Every structure is written in C-alpha cells, then in structure tokens.
C-alpha cells in the first residue's frame, strides 16, 4: 500500500462521499511563530490521521472496477463471469466488468441489447428480429461500417455472453451518406370564366 500507484480514471467517489477529515489547527499562541513544537506536532498528527483515512478507504476503492488495481479487476471479472479478450483496452475491460450485472439484466430484450452496446461505447446499433422472408431465429444487428470494423471482437464477445440461446446473429452494415435535397416553391392559380349566349 505504501508505494503502490493505483489506477484512477475518474474522481474517487468513495473519497467524495466519505466524511471530511477536519483540519485541526493549533491555538494562535502555538501557531509556530512563538512556540514551534506544538505547530509541528499538529501537522504531524493531521498527516497521520489523513494516512489512516486513506487506508480505511482503500478497500472501498478496490471494489470499484473503474479505480481498482488490475489484479483486483481480474478477480472482480472472474466473479462476474467476464473474460478479457485478446488486445482488449483496459478502459473497455473496466467498463465491461463494471456493467456486468446491468448488462446481464438487459440481455433478454431488444431495447436492453441496445443499452448494452450504448454503455460500452459501440455507437448506433439497430436490432431487427423476425423480418418477413427470413428465418424466425435470425437476429440482424445493423451498424455502420466503422463501428463493425473497430468493435468486431467486442461485438462477438457480447453476443457470446449476452446473446439469446437458440438464435443466430448476423451483422448488417449500413453506410450513412449525406444527401442534399433542394426545394423550391411551386404554385399556380386557376380561373374559370364562363360565357353564355
């Protein structure tokens, strides 16, 4: 614990929620100008209690997948049934471990599957089931070409872990293009003039 550097991707929420350790000040007549010893003793005691405070928060930090050490992260991943795939970035692995329970809950429905992809940063995803003219057990995942190329291993891993049983999955690639459509006003007027003799 002494010289170990911990991973911190975001501000430590446990430290923000913990009771603030008050800064104890020596009385004005012992503030270091007149008598030096009480001033230095106060600073030393404050430093000691700050260190104890950090040690007490250490177990809480280790239970948070976004801030814990990599060894603890592997233990949490094993506990939650997550396996790290080859060349997976550490940040993505941390997110997968953090959202494992929520993703497992969302896995059974189409909207939940979209939320899983959104949580892990895949981007826009369309999921289509039971299309006319296709087999009933085929689920089509529609995404852009860049999303498929960048996240192919992640998508395969998510389908293995959270995909429905007795279903087949296929990817459908869409190429978004910008289209410019010009418009203009078109109108006319009609007159009918009747004449009789």
pLDDT of residue 26: 59
Q: For helices 70-80 and 90-98, what crossing angle results, to 10°?
A: 40
Tell me if 194 is assigned to some domain. no
Is 53 found in the same domain as 112? Answer: no
96-107 confidence digits (pLDDT tens): 999 999 999 988
Is 49 found in the same domain as 112? Answer: no
Is pLDDT of 115 > 80?
yes
Tell me if 138 is assigned to some domain. yes
Is pLDDT of 11 > 60?
no
Quote the domain boundaries for residue 38. Answer: 26-62
Is pLDDT of 7 > 70?
no
Give the list of residues 6+ apart from residue 31 with CB closer than 8 angstroms, or none: 25, 39
Tell me if 113 is assigned to some domain. yes
pLDDT of residue 95: 93
Percent helix, percent strand, percent coil in the chain, to nearest 5: 45, 10, 45
Strand 126-129 and strand 138-144: the pairing is antiparallel
Is pLDDT of 126 > 90?
no
The mean pLDDT value for 7-20 works out to 57
Tell me if 165 is assigned to some domain. yes
pLDDT of residue 124: 82
Is pLDDT of 12 > 70?
no
Closest CA to 175 of 144, 140, 141: 144
Please count the structural domains in the chain: 2
Cα maximum dimension of the chain:
126
* Domain harbouring 117, CATH code: 3.30.70
Closest CA to 7 of 53, 76, 105: 76
Closest CA to 21 of 1, 48, 41: 48
Per-residue pLDDT band for 25 (boundaries 50, 70, 90) equals: low
Is pLDDT of 75 > 70?
yes
The mean pLDDT value for 145-173 works out to 85
The mean pLDDT value for 164-176 works out to 84
Is 104 found in the same domain as 161? Answer: yes
Is 166 found in the same domain as 106? Answer: yes
Please count the residues of the chain. 197
* Cβ–Cβ < 8 Å for 62, 45: no
Region label for 105, one of left (φ > 0), alpha (ψ between -120 and 50) or beta (otherwise): alpha
Which of 36-40, 79-83, 149-153, 159-163 is the least confident region?
Answer: 36-40
Tell if the pTM clears 0.75, that is, is over it. no
Is pLDDT of 125 > 90?
no
Tell me if 120 is assigned to some domain. yes
Tell me if 13 is assigned to some domain. no
The runs of H, that is alpha helices, within the chain are 13-17, 36-62, 70-80, 90-98, 100-106, 110-119, 145-150, 152-162
Q: How far is CA 86 from CA 9, 69, 70, 83, 90, in A?
A: 22, 19, 16, 10, 11
Tell me if 71 is assigned to some domain. no
Buried b (16+ CB within 10 A) or exposed e, 25-61: ebeeebeeeeeeeebeebeeeeeeeeeeeeeeeeebb
């Amino acid at each position: 614990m002494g010289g170990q550097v911990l991973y911190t991707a975001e501000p430590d929420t446990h430290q923000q929620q913990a009771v603030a350790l008050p800064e104890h000040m020596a009385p004005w007549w012992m503030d270091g100008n007149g008598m030096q010893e009480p001033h230095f003793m106060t600073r030393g005691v404050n430093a000691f209690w700050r260190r104890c405070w950090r040690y007490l928060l250490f177990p809480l930090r280790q239970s948070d997948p976004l801030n814990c050490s990599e060894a603890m992260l592997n233990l949490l991943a094993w506990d939650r049934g997550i396996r790290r795939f080859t060349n997976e970035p550490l940040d993505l692995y941390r997110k997968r471990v953090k959202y494992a329970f929520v993703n497992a809950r969302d896995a059974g429905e189409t909207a939940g599957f979209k939320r899983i992809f959104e949580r892990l940063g895949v981007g826009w995803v369309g999921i289509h089931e039971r299309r006319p003219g296709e087999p009933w057990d085929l689920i089509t995942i529609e995404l852009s070409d860049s999303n498929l190329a960048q996240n192919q291993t992640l998508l395969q891993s998510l389908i293995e872990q959270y995909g429905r049983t007795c279903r087949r999955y296929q990817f459908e690639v869409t190429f978004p293009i910008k289209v410019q459509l010009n418009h203009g006003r078109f109108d006319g007027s009609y007159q009918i003039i009747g004449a009789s003799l």
